[in-house]
Amino acid sequence: DAGVIQSPRHEVTEMGQEVTLRCKPISGHDYLFWYRQTMMRGLELLIYFNNNVPIDDSGMPEDRFSAKMPNASFSTLKIQPSEPRDSAVYFCASSFGWTGKSTDTQYFGPGTRLTVL
């Protein structure tokens, strides 16, 4: 298996522009997680899906952030408009569900490094 795939790996944009990050989870996994990592705040869970349905978006920082999962093999995280404080590494992770709960092991993608100028 190719693992979790994220694109782009690097994104540089200007303040006010729309940014879309993409994720393809591991085939067969029914949980998908979006995280943000910064030096100041560490690793933060933004939102997660189960069977394509958003379960908890309490970590989404504000209305400028939105996430979708239109099917089992694709998810997007969109920031509109972007701001310099959104600069971070964004990770997608997936896991296999067991008896309705996510298993312990989450498999992370390589991340997208976002820089907002």
82 lines the binding site for other proteins (CB under 8 A): no
- Report the amino acid identity of residue 12: V
Q: Which two tokens stand for residue 94?
A: 């997936």
Footprint on residues 15-54 left by other proteins (CB under 8 A): 31, 42-43, 45, 48, 50
User: Which of 43, 2, 38, 44 is CA-nearest to residue 23?
Assistant: 2
Whichever of 31 and 65 has its CB closer to other proteins, that residue is: 31
Segment interacting with other proteins, rule: CB under 8 A, options 14-22, 64-72, 78-86, 101-109: 101-109
User: Which of 43, 41, 47 is CA-nearest to residue 23?
Assistant: 47
Q: Counting beta carbons within 10 angstroms of the beta carbon of residue 89, is it exposed (0 to 12), middle (13 to 18) or buried (19 or more)?
A: middle
55 lines the binding site for other proteins (CB under 8 A): yes
Whichever of 81 and 87 has its CB closer to other proteins, that residue is: 87
The residues binding other proteins (CB under 8 A) are 4, 31, 42-43, 45, 48, 50, 55-56, 91, 93, 95, 101-102, 104-111
